[in-house]
Amino acid sequence: MRIKELMSGLALFVGLNVVSISASAQSKDFEMAKNLDIFVSAFMELQNMYVDSLRSEDLARYAIEGMTDHLDPYTEFVPSTEQDDFDFIKTGRYAGIGSYIQKDGDYTRISLPYKGFPADLAGFVSGDRLLEIDGKSLKGMSVDKVSSLLKGEAGTGLKLKVHKWLTGDTVSVELTRQNIRMPSVKYSGILEGGVGYILLTTFTTGSFNEFRSALVEMRNTGNLKSLIIDLRGNGGGSLPEAVKIVNLFVPKGIAVVKARGRIRGYDMSYTTTEDPLEPDLPLAVLVNGASASASEIVSGTIQDLDRGLVVGTLTFGKGLVQAVRPLVYDAQLKITAAKYYIPSGRCVQAHNFSHRNSDGSVSFIPDSLKKEFKTKNGRSVFDGGGITPDLTCEAEDYSPVAVSLLRRNLIFDYALQYFKKTLKISSPEVFDLNDREYQAFVDFLSTKDYDYESLSERMLKQFVSIVKQEKYDEEVKEELERLSEKLKHDKSKDLRLAKDELKALLREEIAERYFYESGRIRAMLRRDNQLTTAQKLLSDSERYSGLLSPKK
């Protein structure tokens, strides 16, 4: 059937329903039916009259996305073609070869294989360049497109032509796609002083089991005296998984989170159901601005119940709950259906999406509208702005030269060269670069194209702009030129000044080449000031107890 006939049939169907609804329904129902009729009429006219041919599925998607774009960032349309990506977000599972990939000139390269999965077992290493998939050239293809070609049904095969980084050979390799599940617990272990550490990066199906296993393993050593839960960068996920993790530390029967929406059927209460595994273990939860949703439920509940202390920086502030509704033809609509409230009664939602500024932007909820709540011990906490840490500790900023090198993948590229020349290294906890090796890195950079703007240069540029606006630029032109020349950054000098920082970044990148993702994490723990702050706090029982007490 031609598209015009299909659209005419759809218009007739909706039109008949408009007559039926408008004859018997109240005003609200009539308005809905009327606007549906207008929508279908506009859809038909665009499909039939627009100067270029249009795909009906594209028009429909644009319309739905137009509706959701005016609501909040979490209400979104999921077409059937994106179901795999949506499932991966919920479960951490997909089928493929198991590897991070990144752009490399006209091609895509392996940036890190997952240990024990097809790419790793086939001998792929960081730097291997993907040339063809099943005879199809990958030259000029986007990373997203290459990723979609690598994915597929578990058990299906694919043939890759690869330029091997270590040998320089071009080889053809046949692989079988496998179900891949990304772990939620990226690393766990006992640090100095008996401080346990669990890095939890997401809340997907199975996160609780991973977390509990890591905790039990540390308990069984007999050396566990306290615990740091690292939720920095954890954007959230499953509420039930978050509640079960909280239940490891708080008593049975505690209402952890309540969800309240416009439709009563979406009002829910999540309560702990088991006796805790560690009811008294001193806790610190690390958070930052990228800790959201389920991360805020865990950290906020620990704070509200005075079960432990939150360390780091203010969290993201997402207090909205999404429900997934099935649509026809295997599409889905993820709808914000409720707000969640943690034990003190507060909601951490920081943005008011229902009231936008005149330019369409969304503002933070002002302090004047925030309400005070009390923790179990009577400490003051507030709603409407994420979780404010009990002990604020900023992460160290990268220097401008480090940012430039990271953005241009030059630290990654040098790590590849190091990996190619060096058979093995010591463990990530002790590996380091000596002065000769750091100078080799500086020499490597001498032929590379990179630049940056120092903070003083950036501030001077802003100052010059103000001077021009106020018409003083001609009067101080010579002084500004001299100052600009004095402040002009010197790459050689900056590489010397940032030596410790850049050596740390190189350690982490190189450790990942030899010890996979856990190698990078183990190396990063050596220079983490927020982690160090949490460790010191847990070792100081008097200060720990003092912060859990209300201010007098």
Domain-terminating residue out of 60, 83, 106 = 83
Looking at per-residue pLDDT, the higher value among 263 and 509 belongs to 509
In a domain, 475, yes or no: no
Structure confidence at residue 128 (pLDDT): 96
Q: Which domain holds residue 199?
A: 185-392
Q: Is residue 545 part of a domain?
A: no
Q: Which residue has the tokens 């209300």?
A: 550
What predicted TM-score, i.e. pTM, was given to this entire model?
0.84
Is the confidence at residue 152, as pLDDT, over 50? yes
pLDDT tops 70 at residue 86:
no
Q: Looking at the domain assignment, is residue 268 inside a domain?
A: yes
Is the same domain home to 405 and 496? yes
Contact status, residue 138 vs residue 146, Cβ threshold 8 Å? yes
User: Are both 133 and 281 inside the same structural domain?
Assistant: no
424 and 338 share one domain: no
Provide the pLDDT for residue 472: 78
**Residues 421, 507: one domain?**
yes
Q: In the listed set 83, 117, 150, which residue is the last one of a domain according to the structure?
A: 83
Model confidence band, residue 361 (pLDDT cutoffs 50, 70, 90): low
State residue 6's pLDDT score.
Answer: 44
Determine the pLDDT at residue 321.
85
Together in a domain, 175 and 242: no
Residue 467 maps to a domain: no
In a domain, 546, yes or no: no
pLDDT in tens, 469-521: 888 778 777 777 777 776 667 788 889 999 999 999 999 999 999 999 999 99
Same domain for 78 and 98: no
Task: Judge if 422 and 357 occupy the same domain.
Answer: no
Mean pLDDT of 440-458: 85
User: Where are the alpha helices (H) located in 352-489, listed in sequence order?
Assistant: 400-407, 410-421, 435-445, 455-469, 477-487
The predicted model gives 261-282 an average pLDDT of 90
At 451 the pLDDT is 81
Residue 23 pLDDT class (50, 70, 90 cuts) = very low
Residue 433 lies in a domain: yes
Per residue in 195-210, pLDDT (tens digit) is 999 999 999 999 999 9
Sign of CA dihedral 499, 500, 501, 505: positive
Please state, for a pLDDT cut of 90, what percent of the chain lies above it: 62
Which residue in the block uniquely carries the two structure tokens 């497109």? Answer: 145
Q: Are residues 355 and 214 in the same domain?
A: yes
Quick check: 90 pLDDT over 70? Answer: no
Residues 316 and 423 in one domain: no
pLDDT classification of 142: cutoffs 50, 70, 90? very high
Task: Determine which of 86-100, 168-182, 230-244 has the lowest per-residue pLDDT on average.
Answer: 86-100
Asked if pLDDT for residue 462 goes beyond 80, the answer is: yes
Indicate the range of 100-114, 401-415, 484-498 predicted with least confidence.
484-498
Pairing mode, strands 195-200 and 226-230: parallel
Say yes or no: 243 and 385 in one domain. yes
- Pairs from 109-115 (Cβ < 8 Å, separation ≥ 24): 109/165, 111/412, 112/512, 112/516, 112/517, 113/516, 114/180, 114/182, 114/516, 114/517, 115/516, 115/517
Same domain flag for 164 and 286: no
pLDDT at 7: 44
Size of the chain, expressed as the number of residues it contains: 552
pLDDT at 84 exceeding the cut of 90: no
Regarding whether 341 and 212 lie in a shared domain, the answer is yes
Cβ atoms of 291 and 231 within 8 Å: the answer is yes
Domain assignment present for 70: yes
Band the pLDDT of 287: cuts 50, 70, 90. Answer: very high
Give how many domains the chain has, as a whole number.
4
CATH of the domain at 134: 2.30.42.10
DSSP character at residue 387: P
